[in-house]
């Protein structure tokens, strides 16, 4: 089991540990008991994860004599809305949750975002614990305290920064993960290699096949490495006012593609082509050497991800969604570009014509 400590502003109150390993639920029960974060725990999970893992997680905590409840909601991004929030809050009030209660987010990114948001606004904030069950949530959304829900007007319009008390990453959960979900996580791992860790990138290139075949020893290694990169960035810039923006590499165009496809293109596919697009723009603007651009594109294909979008996807649609992206500041759309592998920067001056040309090129 690997353990990583996250320090925010060097305050013990907002620092926490990430535990990574195979079959660590019993260890998790021990840690939660020892840390004594709350008088009782409420697991928040969805209709996919609940039948697969709900009972086992409950059992691991009850085994330690902890008081545990569970609240389920329907699986899927469509649940990331205010109705779900209020139905969870009403159930929490019914079971008598108070300021000494804590939540446990058991599931993927949607479960983590929703649980973190509820924990951040319930009685001015109660503790919560992340138990991510997807590869994407394990290397991305479970670390960093970003919480969010969607409104009809857009994704993640409401949200908070609320750090978890602890993150427990059990690789055993990955065995029940659909391939598409696995790809979503892989894209994020590739991203971290590109923006911050050339050695990780080399490892991914060397072991591409073993990773596609979900070699667990190797996965623990690359998950831990990716978590360390993520936590290093989050520590320096908790509130995403500066450095943390580089984590959006591939996401500005990626999010627009994902949304424009009506979410038929997965997050991992969208971020993969988004990274290819950002590398292409970096090359066209004479920042990134062409061989680095090709290396990125080649790894993405090798590892089983995609560098293409369907020709039917509207370039107008993607382009106008980019302009509406919530990360725009004032009237400028900021892109994360590359100077070389491991050296990203934020650029506010990409001509719209180049963005459109780049989107068109993804269709070929």
Catalytic site includes residue 244 = yes
d(CA 130, CA 112): 7
How would DSSP label each residue in 128-189?
EEEEE-SHHIIIIITSS-EEEEEETTEEEEEEEE---SEEEEEGGGGGG--HHHHHHHHHHH
Catalytic site includes residue 162 = no
Residue 49 CB, nearest distance to a copy of itself (Å)?
Answer: 25
Active-site residue identified among 165, 225, 231, 251: 251
Catalytic site includes residue 230 = yes
Residue 322 CB, nearest distance to a copy of itself (Å)?
Answer: 15
What is the phi-psi region of residue 44: left when phi exceeds 0, alpha when psi lies from -120 to 50, beta otherwise? beta
User: Which among 159, 52, 49 has a CA at the least distance from the CA of 111?
Assistant: 49
Q: Which residues bind a copy of itself (CB under 8 A)?
A: 9, 11, 13, 39, 82, 86, 89-90, 93, 98-100, 117, 120-125, 146-148, 151, 153-154, 156-161, 239-240, 326-330
Active-site residue identified among 53, 225, 245, 255: 255
Nearer to a copy of itself by Cβ, of 123 and 354: the residue is 123
Residue 110 CB, nearest distance to a copy of itself (Å)?
Answer: 16
CA distances from 167 to 209, 265, 279 (A): 28, 28, 32
Residue 99 CB, nearest distance to a copy of itself (Å)?
Answer: 7
Residue 153 CB, nearest distance to a copy of itself (Å)?
Answer: 5
Catalytic site includes residue 124 = yes
Catalytic site includes residue 53 = no
Please give the structure tokens belonging to residue 270: 């969208």
Spell out the residues 6+ positions from residue 299 whose beta carbon is closer than 8 angstroms to its own. Answer: 190, 201, 204, 205, 208
Active-site residue identified among 48, 184, 248, 347: 248
Nearer to a copy of itself by Cβ, of 234 and 273: the residue is 234
Catalytic site includes residue 240 = yes
d(CA 131, CA 117): 15
Cα pseudo-dihedral 111, 113, 116, 122, rounded to 10:
-90
Catalytic site includes residue 328 = no
Nearer to a copy of itself by Cβ, of 221 and 328: the residue is 328
Measured from the Cβ of residue 209, the count of other Cβ atoms closer than 10 Å reads 11
User: Which among 233, 204, 234, 205 has a CA at the least distance from the CA of 221?
Assistant: 204
Catalytic site includes residue 251 = yes
d(CA 51, CA 62): 17
Active-site residue identified among 48, 53, 80, 146: 146
Active-site residue identified among 240, 308, 327, 334: 240
Residues in the chain: 364
Nearer to a copy of itself by Cβ, of 97 and 350: the residue is 97
Residue 118 CB, nearest distance to a copy of itself (Å)?
Answer: 9
Nearer to a copy of itself by Cβ, of 213 and 241: the residue is 241
Active-site residue identified among 53, 80, 191, 244: 244
Apex 36 CA angle, 224 and 110, nearest 5: 50
CA distances from 281 to 215, 275, 284, 301, 312 (A): 34, 10, 5, 19, 22
Nearer to a copy of itself by Cβ, of 33 and 156: the residue is 156
Catalytic site includes residue 248 = yes
Nearer to a copy of itself by Cβ, of 86 and 345: the residue is 86
Residue 86 CB, nearest distance to a copy of itself (Å)?
Answer: 7
Active-site residue identified among 53, 225, 245, 267: 267
d(CA 56, CA 254): 35
Catalytic site includes residue 269 = no
Catalytic residues: 124, 146, 188, 230, 240, 244, 248, 251, 255, 267
């Amino acid at each position: 089991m690997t353990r990583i400590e996250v320090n925010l502003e060097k305050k013990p109150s907002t620092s926490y540990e990430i535990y990574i390993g195979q079959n660590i639920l019993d260890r998790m029960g021990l840690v939660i008991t020892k840390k004594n974060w709350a008088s009782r725990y409420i697991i928040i999970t969805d209709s996919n994860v609940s039948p697969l893992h709900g009972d086992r997680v409950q059992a691991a905590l009850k085994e330690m004599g902890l008081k545990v409840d569970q609240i389920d909601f329907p699986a899927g991004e469509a649940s990331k809305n205010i109705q779900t929030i209020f139905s969870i809050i009403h159930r929490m009030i019914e079971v008598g949750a108070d300021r000494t209660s804590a939540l446990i987010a058991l599931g993927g990114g949607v479960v983590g975002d929703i649980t973190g948001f509820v924990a951040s606004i319930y009685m001015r904030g109660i503790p919560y614990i992340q138990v991510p069950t997807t590869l994407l949530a394990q290397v991305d959304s479970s670390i960093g305290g970003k919480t969010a829900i969607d409104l009809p007007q857009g994704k993640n319009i409401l949200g908070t920064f609320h750090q978890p008390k602890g993150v427990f990453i059990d690789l055993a959960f990955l065995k029940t993960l659909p391939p598409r979900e696995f790809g979503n996580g892989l894209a994020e791992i590739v991203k971290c290699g590109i923006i911050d860790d050339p050695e990780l990138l080399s490892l991914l290139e060397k072991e591409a096949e073993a990773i596609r075949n979900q070699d667990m020893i190797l996965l623990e290694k690359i998950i831990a490495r990716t978590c360390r990169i993520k936590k290093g960035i989050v520590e320096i810039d908790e509130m995403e006012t500066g450095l943390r923006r580089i984590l959006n590499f591939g996401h500005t165009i990626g999010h627009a593609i994902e949304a424009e496809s009506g979410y038929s293109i997965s997050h991992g596919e969208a971020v993969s082509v988004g990274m290819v697009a950002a590398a292409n723009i970096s090359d066209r603007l004479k920042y990134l050497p062409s061989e680095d651009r090709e290396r990125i594109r080649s790894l993405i294909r090798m590892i089983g991800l995609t560098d293409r979008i369907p020709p039917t996807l509207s370039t107008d649609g993607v382009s106008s969604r980019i302009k509406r992206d919530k990360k725009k500041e004032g009237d400028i759309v900021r892109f994360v570009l590359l100077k070389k592998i491991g050296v990203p920067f934020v650029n506010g001056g990409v001509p719209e014509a180049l963005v459109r040309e780049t989107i068109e090129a993804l269709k070929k």
